[in-house]
Structure 1
Amino acid sequence: MSLAQNIQNAWNRKAKWLIVLRPLSWLYQTGFALNKKLYQSGVKQCYTAPVPVMIIGNITVGGSGKTPLLIQLVKYLQEKNIRVGVISRGYGGKGPFPASVTLESVPETVGDEPCLIVQSTGVPMVVGSNRQASIELLLQQYDLDLIISDDGLQHWALDRQIEWIVLDQNRGLGNQKLLPEGYLREPVDRLSQSTVIEHAAHPSSDLHMHLQVAQPYLLNPTFDQADIFDPQLDYYAVVGIGFPQRFYTTLESIGLKHFQCHEFPDHYDYEIDDIQFEDNNSIITTEKDAVKLLPLLKKHPDFRREIWVVPVEAVLSTACYTLLDQQLAELGILPSV
């Protein structure tokens, strides 16, 4: 198990030994606060895009449900004929950057989450660590009313007009310590400065969301397969996301009782040996992992083990949409007929 995975597990357990990392957390906090102040004071230049920017991010490391939320918001805006584009860092992709994401793009080049976003919505999207360059490339290609930044909450070089922070109440804030003693990217009081969307089955806020599970589907169907999902069978749960426990809970919610967990780091670049097992039991995985596994299967057409994918969709409260409409109207962005 890698060092990153060991620390991730320690965060989730709130392990007491993490206190030895406190001096590094103080160093992180000092550097983070100084960098933020340099941008706020104008010593470092902040880029303001010619169209409004909305950031969807979190203050924690690891999964929070941010990508399903972004996908749902893009679909909502598209239905209202609001011209929306998306930028992302393209984590896990090798570039070159900035790079446009299309239906033909592969995770190796642009990252797994961008592939999933474009496959789900068809939205114009550009990825790269330089957000200004990404926005400029996006606007060279499209006339847009709004740009959504997938993550980038702590990227102070980019000005923004709307900030939504996703807070996963199932995972919580851990030991509420900053990196690396805890998994917070920013202090807890950051939540009071932006719109917080509570990701919870039993929310305490009007602004909330949950993930709705749809029927699993086969990633690699063949003519000799029944193509019928059976929750009574044994499965290998193969997952490379920020918070794997959420996926296991999802599996239990659809009736799976027998599955063996195989965890990989977030944005993991799979090899065919990672999904080879001694028996013929099927694999079950997330949509995010599926976009990584599909190109792998194309390289290995002799692979015959069934791989089932569990799709999820973010369901937002009415208050989320009402607030978004208000925030956009204040920026002069209105639905078109």
Structure 2
Amino acid sequence: MKKLELALTQAWQKNAVWLKLLTPLSGLYGMVTHARKSLYHSGKCPIYRAAVPVLVIGNITVGGSGKTPFIIALTKILRKQGISVAVISRGYGGDSTQMPKLVTPTSTPNEVGDEPCLIAQSLYSDGFFLPMAVAPNRGQAIDLLLKNFPETTLIISDDGLQHYALHRDEEWIVVDVARGFGNGKLLPQGFLREPIDRLQDALVLYHDKDMTKYPKKAMAMSLKVGQIEPLMGNHKSPVPSVGTYVHAVSGIGHPKRFFDTLSDQGFLVIPHPFGDHHDFRLEDLVDLINHPIIVTSKDAVKLRHLATQTTHDIFNHIWVLPVEMVLSDGIIEQINHLIVKYQLN
């Protein structure tokens, strides 16, 4: 299944001609998703309504769009203002038999998924505890959160844009400008989960490499790259130098952006794309000992967990490229508007 996912991802990037053969499947996918959405909107299927406002942050594409670093930036802003925000997620890659489940800074990817771990750990490293729960059934996740954290005044749903069983008060859609919408086709011919006109129903946030081309009030944001840091804090390998070869290992939805970022930093990149949410094993890494390995913060969560289970020198040669989402004045104003609208503070 992972090989098929990776093959499709590469075909989407190249706009391969053979994707046209999948046109009937995309048509079927579109009919099924439209029918499913209609069942909820017509009241024929029940919709869960939370006791507090729900903000869904998602995308209409498969793969990375910058949604997770944006959620990290947003929750930090809200927590700094003393707002009792909590986050729910599907917990993809975690143990669904044990869900709904609360996420803590010590949770593992095998338990709750890699992205929830990254969000919780990122907030904790900045001095904030973020109430968070995971479950395929988002209503169950919210019930668990409100039971344990009744002071919660806002729920942010990490993804779940297509989870129509959940009522949402606000929808914010993150669009990766560099990637765009590909061939504009629905899955599996293209990488769209929903048609492009779905953007008309929500606030659209544009993730772009260059924010200077946008007015200050635009709904734009950009990733700021930090200094690479060792995967394991106690190893003493020399820091990889620009102009040298590095193995770029990636298990994210849109690995090309990560590879391009490393190239922009001056590294000579040897790309190693794996499928999104890839469950890394030691054999994925041991043959890459000839050059330093650089990974994303999301993949680092899994690799640190792997390092606690397997002793090997390869972990002393792995580095992490941290990123931080920088928000435009327009997005900051929108956040402040959200606070006032729902009387969150």
Q: Which moved more, 1:282-291 or 1:297-306?
A: 297-306
Aligned to 2:304: 294
For residues 269 and 279 of structure 1, the distance between their equivalents in structure 2, rounded to whole angstroms, comes to: 20
Aligned to 1:310: 321
- Deviation per CA, 1:191-223: give whole Å up to 9, x if none: 111000001134557000000000110012446
For residues 114 and 99 of structure 1, the distance between their equivalents in structure 2, rounded to whole angstroms, comes to: 11
- Deviation per CA, 1:27-78: give whole Å up to 9, x if none: 1111111111111111111111000000100000000000000000000000
Amino acid at match of 1:231: V
Determine if the alignment matches structure 1 residue 166 to structure 2 residue 174: yes
Aligned to 2:286: 276
Q: Which runs of 5+ in 1 are unaligned?
A: none
Judging changes above 3 Å, is the alpha-carbon distance between structure 1 residues 279 and 71 closer, same or farther for their aligned structure 2 residues? closer
For residues 136 and 312 of structure 2, the distance between their equivalents in structure 1, rounded to whole angstroms, comes to: 37
Determine if the alignment matches structure 1 residue 125 to structure 2 residue 109: no
Determine if the alignment matches structure 1 residue 238 to structure 2 residue 238: no
Residue 284 of structure 1 aligns to a residue whose secondary structure is strand
For residues 16 and 49 of structure 2, the distance between their equivalents in structure 1, rounded to whole angstroms, comes to: 41
Sequence identity of aligned pairs in percent?
45
Aligned residue pairs total 332
Aligned to 2:164: 156
Kindly report which structure 2 residues correspond to 1:67-82, keeping only aligned pairs within 5 A, or say none.
Answer: 67-82=68-83
Aligned to 2:187: 179
- Deviation per CA, 1:236-287: give whole Å up to 9, x if none: 111100000110111122221x221111100000110101116432111000
Q: Which runs of 5+ in 2 are unaligned?
A: 124-128
For residues 217 and 42 of structure 1, the distance between their equivalents in structure 2, rounded to whole angstroms, comes to: 51
Amino acid at match of 1:245: K
Aligned to 2:93: 92
Higher helix share: 2
Judging changes above 3 Å, is the alpha-carbon distance between structure 1 residues 33 and 281 closer, same or farther for their aligned structure 2 residues? same
Determine if the alignment matches structure 1 residue 107 to structure 2 residue 109: yes
Report deviation, 1:186: 0.6
Report deviation, 1:144: 0.4
Residue 192 of structure 1 aligns to a residue whose secondary structure is helix
Report deviation, 1:318: 0.8
| TM-score, normalising length: structure 2 | 0.93
Amino acid at match of 1:218: P
User: Contact (CA 8 Å) 1:221, 1:227: kept in 2 or not?
Assistant: no
For residues 202 and 252 of structure 2, the distance between their equivalents in structure 1, rounded to whole angstroms, comes to: 25
Superposition CA RMSD, Å: 1.5
For residues 311 and 289 of structure 2, the distance between their equivalents in structure 1, rounded to whole angstroms, comes to: 19
User: Contact (CA 8 Å) 1:98, 1:137: kept in 2 or not?
Assistant: yes
User: Contact (CA 8 Å) 1:220, 1:306: kept in 2 or not?
Assistant: no
Kindly report which structure 2 residues correspond to 1:136-215, keeping only aligned pairs within 5 A, or say none.
Answer: 136-142=143-149, 143-202=151-210, 204=214, 206-215=218-227
For residues 230 and 55 of structure 2, the distance between their equivalents in structure 1, rounded to whole angstroms, comes to: 35
User: Contact (CA 8 Å) 1:162, 1:327: kept in 2 or not?
Assistant: no
Amino acid at match of 2:122: S
For residues 201 and 4 of structure 1, the distance between their equivalents in structure 2, rounded to whole angstroms, comes to: 26
Judging changes above 3 Å, is the alpha-carbon distance between structure 1 residues 119 and 227 closer, same or farther for their aligned structure 2 residues? farther
For residues 99 and 14 of structure 2, the distance between their equivalents in structure 1, rounded to whole angstroms, comes to: 37
Kindly report which structure 2 residues correspond to 1:325-336, keeping only aligned pairs within 5 A, or say none.
Answer: 325-333=336-344, 335=345
